[in-house]
């Protein structure tokens, strides 16, 4: 049996989601994958830290941070380590990065990822910052250090999207990607169409763990634009940044417009797309009123959908969860199992 020692950096919605999954599935993972996932460190800039090479009791760690609590109240282990000290001292095989996303600087996540890769640790992250701004650099650094840098959760949470395209569609040429790439806004549009106010729909999306730390990233389309950048750079051979995406969010859409669209047999969706053109890449995020018969019009709630336009298969569409605690935690688990299988 293999033991995979992990350090969890960032212990918010997603980090807690991963640990809940590990707690629930530990027996299955041993039986079906022959892997014991042992959490040896957790560090969060607001919730404190704990490290124990013999393994942290996940139930007690989750309990410690309930209702605004701190990991410092966890009995035993070492405390007071910030993220970089944790990465340097904890002896983990894999660093799971799930701190908040900053699409302008990529920090603090880029520093965390670099430190872990340079230390010879594999990295899995759901943080879009390092993937949008420095995916190639991080992948090169990982290769140089003989480890993996995986980020399945950066697009469509745990719904297999990036690994699916990179592994299963390898050999196809992808000319275009398009779809619904943000769970928060899709949830909000669905709720607003059913009569909820914008503010209530946003608050619910936050409570359900879909929204970014600063939800402007969702409603102004920055999050979806980041995902378009990731997909364009990894799958279409582009080298674009967030500023290259022609971006409009949903803040300009009124309930009146949604109602009018519904009367006309249309439904607004925030659509992200990137397409190879004769001169480069055309990338955009914008609300589009789709005919109800369009398959994307039927994708409601926090569900996302992404179509890959390929030469050998034609269009291939993946539909599934786009955000959420367990749904995104599962993306980290997929990467962990990928690492366990290939090492």
CB atoms within 10 A of CB 305: 22
The DSSP string of 202-213 is HHHHHHTT-S-S
Shortest distance in whole angstroms from residue 283 CB to ligand HSE: 17
- Alpha helices (runs of H) in the chain, residue ranges in sequence order: 13-28, 58-64, 83-89, 109-118, 128-144, 162-163, 183-193, 198-207, 216-219, 222-235, 255-263, 325-342
- The one catalytic residue among 128, 176, 227, 269: 227
10 versus 48: smaller Cβ distance to ligand HSE: 10
Tokens of 92: 């983990």
64 versus 250: smaller Cβ distance to ligand HSE: 250
Given a contact cutoff of 8 angstroms between Cβ atoms, the answer to whether 283 and 228 are in contact is yes
216-245: contacts with ligand HSE (CB under 6 A): 218, 223
Contact call for residue 157 and ligand HSE (CB under 6 A): yes
Among 191, 212, 220, 335, binds ligand HSE (CB under 6 A): 212
323: which residues sit within 8 A by CB, 6+ positions away?
157, 182, 183, 184, 187, 209, 210, 211, 302, 304
Given a contact cutoff of 8 angstroms between Cβ atoms, the answer to whether 121 and 149 are in contact is no
50 versus 155: smaller Cβ distance to ligand HSE: 155
Given a contact cutoff of 8 angstroms between Cβ atoms, the answer to whether 317 and 305 are in contact is yes
- Reduced to 3 states (helix: H, G, I; strand: E, B; else coil), residue 14 is helix
238 versus 321: smaller Cβ distance to ligand HSE: 321
Measured between alpha carbons, how far is 225 from 273 in angstroms, rounded to an integer?
A: 9
48 versus 322: smaller Cβ distance to ligand HSE: 322
Among 51, 211, 219, 306, binds ligand HSE (CB under 6 A): 211
Shortest distance in whole angstroms from residue 157 CB to ligand HSE: 6
Q: Are strands 174-180 and 266-277 parallel, antiparallel or unpaired?
A: antiparallel
Shortest distance in whole angstroms from residue 183 CB to ligand HSE: 4
273 alpha-carbon distance from chain centroid? 18
Measured between alpha carbons, how far is 163 from 47 in angstroms, rounded to an integer?
A: 32
Among 183, 249, 301, 329, binds ligand HSE (CB under 6 A): 183
40 versus 156: smaller Cβ distance to ligand HSE: 156
Please say if 27 is a catalytic residue. no
Given a contact cutoff of 8 angstroms between Cβ atoms, the answer to whether 14 and 328 are in contact is yes
Binding mask 303-342 for ligand HSE (x = CB under 6 A): -------------------xx-------------------
Choices 4-12, 41-49, 141-149, 182-190 (CB under 6 A): range interacting with ligand HSE: 182-190
84-123: contacts with ligand HSE (CB under 6 A): none
Shortest distance in whole angstroms from residue 211 CB to ligand HSE: 5
- Reduced to 3 states (helix: H, G, I; strand: E, B; else coil), residue 144 is helix
Shortest distance in whole angstroms from residue 55 CB to ligand HSE: 29
Annotated catalytic residues are 227
Give the interface with ligand HSE as residue ranges (CB under 6 A).
157, 182-184, 210-212, 218, 223, 322-323
């Amino acid at each position: 049996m293999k033991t995979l020692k992990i350090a969890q950096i960032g212990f918010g919605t997603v980090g807690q989601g991963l640990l809940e999954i590990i707690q629930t599935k530990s027996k299955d993972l041993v039986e079906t994958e022959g892997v014991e996932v042992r959490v040896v460190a957790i560090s969060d800039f607001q919730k404190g830290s704990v490290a124990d090479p013999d393994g942290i009791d996940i139930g007690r760690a989750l309990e410690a941070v309930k209702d605004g609590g701190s990991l410092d109240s966890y009995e035993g282990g070492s405390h007071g380590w910030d993220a970089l000290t944790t990465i340097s001292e904890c002896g983990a095989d894999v660093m799971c990065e799930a701190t908040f996303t900053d699409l302008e600087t990529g920090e603090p996540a880029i520093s965390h990822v670099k430190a872990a890769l340079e230390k010879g640790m594999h990295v899995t992250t759901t943080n879009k910052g390092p993937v949008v701004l420095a995916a190639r650099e991080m992948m090169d650094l990982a290769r140089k250090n003989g480890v993996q840098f995986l980020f399945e959760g950066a697009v469509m949470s745990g719904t297999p999207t990036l690994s699916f395209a990179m592994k299963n569609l390898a050999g196809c040429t992808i000319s275009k990607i398009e779809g619904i790439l943000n769970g928060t806004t899709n949830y909000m549009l669905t709720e607003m169409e059913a009569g909820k106010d914008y503010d209530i729909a946003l608050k619910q999306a936050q409570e359900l763990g879909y929204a970014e730390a600063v939800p402007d990233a969702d409603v102004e389309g920055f999050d979806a634009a980041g995902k378009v950048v990731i997909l364009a750079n990894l799958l279409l051979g582009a080298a674009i940044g967030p500023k290259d995406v022609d971006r409009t969010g949903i803040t300009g859409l009124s309930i009146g417009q949604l109602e009018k669209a519904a009367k006309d047999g249309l439904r607004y969706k925030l659509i992200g797309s990137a397409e190879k053109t004769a001169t480069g890449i055309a990338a955009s995020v914008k609300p589009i009123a789709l005919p109800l018969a369009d398959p994307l019009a039927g994708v409601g709630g926090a569900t996302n959908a992404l179509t890959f336009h390929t030469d050998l298969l034609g269009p291939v569409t993946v539909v599934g969860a786009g955000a959420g605690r367990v749904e995104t935690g599962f993306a980290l688990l997929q990467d962990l199992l990928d690492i366990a299988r290939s090492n």
